[in-house]
Amino acid sequence: MSGGNIANNFGSFDVVFEKGQGSTVYDINGKKYIDFLAGIAVNCLGHNHPSLVKAISDQATKQIHISNYYNSDIGLKYSEKLLKASGFDKVYFGNSGAEANEAAIKLARKYGYLEGEKSGIGGKNKKTIVTLEKSFHGRTLNTLKATGQEVFHPECFAPYPDGFKYIKAGDYEALKTAFDESTCALMMECVQGEGGVNLIDKEWAMAAASAARKVGAIVIADEVQTGMGRTGSLFASEWLGIEPEVITTAKGIAGGVPMGACLYRGKVKDVFVAGDHQSTFGGNPLACSCANAVLDVMLEKGFFENVVHSADRICSTIRSWNLPCVKEIRGKGLMIGIDIDGSSAEIQKKALDQGLLMSTAGKNTLRFLPPLVITDQEIDEGLAILKKVLSC
Ligand SMILES: *Cc1c(COP(=O)(O)O)cnc(C)c1O
């Protein structure tokens, strides 16, 4: 079966999936695969998780959508729980990571506009957002421009919106000049996902946040990928120490049902007023019911500890093989990058043939983003396939 007429901008493998259970999925021929990808960090509870299935079916009998003109019971319940767990004051719900980031960009711009006038630092020109090289922030025009990688700014989609500036993670010199009166925000991932699973040094991140705040700018943590337990805590900014005013998150938030969120607090909590930003579908009862179920499972005792345990099991097992073609294993929690000697795309393809789903991040980096509930047995089965296809 081919890809039919679905706009296929990812490039496609010749496989058609039908169902899954836990961290195992099956194609239409009944062939089994271990899932080390989780739909790109989305299926955080794996496949067919009873809590998520129940949340979907129960909510479907009540209400799937009601306009944002009104509140829904589950929307109120979930947002309260999320804000309490994260320590934020307010939340905007959209339907994807890029939308969450668009909301954060608008929030930062309006904050800069108001703050520049009020404080006299920057006036109405306090609009520039500093992001990092090798970052990834989404596929809308604004979030593409926020993305600090030239390959994401092809001429064919120009003109791009202005107002972004890039610095290199770890570059202390850059911190001296990157921020000025015109800066309204620093926006950064806590671990760069699409850019290569790059860890950000904590000391540097804190210095960057402090340089931003010195000119009255805010800090936005793009936790679209790192958020919702992926790195072993609810949000990665908890351990990075940057204390963001704004967090964006999406991928795993509702376990596979599309949803994004922009959480904000403190001095930006009253920046958005009615009419400033909105979404028709954003935070509808079905999505909130799923996100509520996901958060309940994550807040159960031992959930994050298990993420750390599984990450250790994967990394220490691969290290113990001492394979000459494995150059480096890095990551945080279940966001793991493995540099290899050889083509990552080739290994990815071979692994698929043998029954293991994974991703790549660049020509020589394999990327694992398994469900956060993956079992030891599924890890071992997946790693056995990996070892076979690495064959070095
Ligand atoms: C995936 C991702 C996005 C974009 O999310 P979409 O849901 O695809 O719009 C933005 N930022 C980061 C860090 C991501 O990993």
Q: What would the pLDDT profile of 215-227 be if each residue is shown by its tens digit?
A: 999 999 999 999 9
320 SS3 class: helix
Which atom of ligand 1 is the closest one to the Cα of 139?
9
What is the per-residue pLDDT for 3? 58
* DSSP per-residue codes, 361-377: SSTTEEEE---TT--HH
Distance 17 CA to ligand 1 centre (A): 23
If pLDDT is split at 50, 70 and 90, which confidence band does 178 have?
very high
Q: DSSP label at 187?
A: E
On whether the CB atoms of residues 188 and 104 are closer than 8 A, the answer is no
Q: What are the angstrom distances between the C-alpha of 305 and each of 11, 158, 234, 293, 301? A: 35, 45, 11, 19, 8
How wide is the angle at C-alpha 184 spanned by C-alphas 181 and 187, nearest 5°? Answer: 130
Nearest CA to ligand 1 atom 15: 225
Q: Is the CB of 115 under 6 A from ligand 1?
A: no
Q: Please tell me the distance from the alpha carbon of residue 166 to that of residue 316, in angstroms, as a whole number.
A: 35
Q: Which protein residue's CA is at the shortest distance from atom 11 of ligand 1?
A: 137
Is the Cβ–Cβ distance between 348 and 338 less than 8 Å? no
Mutate to test the pocket of ligand 1, among 95, 200, 225 (most ligand atoms within 8 A of CB): 225
Q: Is the pLDDT of residue 5 over 60?
A: yes
State pTM to two decimals: 0.97
What's the pLDDT band for 14 if we cut at 50, 70, 90?
confident
Q: What does pLDDT average to over the chain?
A: 96
Q: Is the shortest distance between the CB of 250 and ligand 1 below 6 Å?
A: yes
- For 330-379, the pLDDT digits (tens) are 999 999 999 999 999 999 999 999 999 999 999 999 999 999 999 999 99
48, 22 contact by CB (below 8 A): yes
Is 289 in contact with 74 (CB distance < 8 Å)? yes
- Cβ partners under 8 Å of residue 340, min gap 6: 325, 326, 327, 347, 364, 365, 366, 390
Pocket test for ligand 1, best of 136, 145, 192 (most atoms within 8 A of CB): 136
For residues 133 and 167, is the Cβ–Cβ distance under 8 A?
A: yes
For ligand 1, whether the C-beta of 42 sits within 6 Å is: no
Of 39, 387, 22, 383, nearest to 230 by C-alpha is: 39
